[in-house]
Every structure is written in structure tokens, then in C-alpha cells.
Chain A
Amino acid sequence: DAGITQSPRYKITETGRQVTLMCHQTWSHSYMFWYRQDLGHGLRLIYYSAAADITDKGEVPDGYVVSRSKTENFPLTLESATRSQTSVYFCASSESRGEVAGKTDTQYFGPGTRLTVL
């Protein structure tokens, strides 16, 4: 089915372990984003990507690594998970940043991954 999917939906891990959250979109959108959502902070941008092999830091990138070898996939890795990384993680995609050549920067979100680090 077309859209944006995330896996796993729920994950429990331990401090110090490596965890990878997957994101896949079927629209061939150029831009993809990772956010974390915490009470009192709203959504905060972790990393984003403008195209395959192009990534850039957001507001809270420390402790996270991303890659984008294919347009449709944008995995997020926590190299050594910490309790402060317990959160709900959302992946999103958009055609563009700003409205360029008729394209919109409306973002389409996945269902989220609830990560608990013990």
C-alpha cells in the first residue's frame, strides 16, 4: 500500500545497545525527516535529508546517525541508546522545502515508533 511506513512500531531496548528505526516511503519524495516527540517539547527535528546521500542535522542530532542510500528509505540509528532517548519517533516526507516549482513542502508522517530505553 502506498504511503510512509515505520518499523518497528514498538521497541524496548537497554542502555548502550544499538537500535535502528526504519522508514520507507513510496511517493519518491525528495525530502525525508526524523522527529522525536516528547511531552512539553512538541516535535523536534533530529535529522533530515534532501535527497539520496544528502543528510543534514536538525535541532537535536546528538546520539543519532542517519543514512539515505535510496530515495525511499531513511533509517535512523541510535548507536548507543540512552534513557533520554526514550521517545516517540516520527518519520516524515515531503516533495520540497518551501514551495518550489509548484511543489509543496507539506509533510506526510508515518505512524511513529514508540521506543523505550531501559
Chain B
Amino acid sequence: SQQGEEDPQALSIQEGENATMNCSYKTSINNLQWYRQNSGRGLVHLILIRSNEREKHSGRLRVTLDTSKKSSSLLITASRAADTASYFCATLPGGGNKLTFGTGTQLKVEL
């Protein structure tokens, strides 16, 4: 069963706009990670946020974590066509040892 569920399943925006994706999970976590997958490629790690952190930045990426709501969001600012990809959240349960991936959000950034 999936630990993380992304929302929306698909998102289409114009270049220059911001894109926000959400991830909800069910059990307590050690950390939450976001990955990107370009069509026909493997997943690439974007950012990791620990359970005791609330916000993290990396370039145009901003991740928030609300452990009370068991949710996280990924914000991509000033999106580019090259950001077109699927984005997955993955959670490492507290005390567990298996990273569990959600079903992903497909982002399309149009020129």
C-alpha cells in the first residue's frame, strides 16, 4: 500500500508560474524526500526534509512539512519547460527501514 499520496495527480501551468504539489502520508516518519522523474528516466533526488524540520529550500524548490497534518508540499518557483516531469514524495517511516513512494504528480510546464 502507498504511504504517500500526491495531489494533484496532474498539473499544467505556464512557464514562469509557480507549481505546488502536495503529499499526504499515513504514519509517523523519519524523513520525507522528493524525487523527480523525467519521461523514460530514473528518479532523481531533489530534497530531503527531516521530521523535526518545517521548511527547506534548494534553489527554486521550497519544501514544507507539517507533521501534525501528516503532509508536505513542494513549491517550484518560476517554473521552466525543463521542469516538466513527474514528482514523487517518498517517506521513511519512523522506526522503519523501507522508503515508500507515492504515485506521483505529473507536471507539465508550457511555453
Contacts and interface: CB of A to CB of B under 8 A. Distances in A.
Interface residues of B: mostly helix, strand, loop or mixed? strand
Contact of A111 (B30, B41, B48, B100): B41
Contacts of A41: 103
A112 B101 contact: no
Contacts, number: 57
Contact of B33 (A97, A106, A111): A106
B26 interface: no
Interface string B38-67: 001111110010100000000000000000
Interface residues of B, number: 24
Contacts of B42: 90, 92, 109-112
Nearest to A108: B45
A40 B48 contact: no
Interface stretch (A14-22, A42-50, A66-74, A78-86): A42-50
Interface of B: 2, 30-31, 33, 35, 40-45, 48, 50, 88, 90, 92, 97-104
Interface of A: 35, 40-43, 45, 48, 58-59, 90, 92, 97-99, 104-112
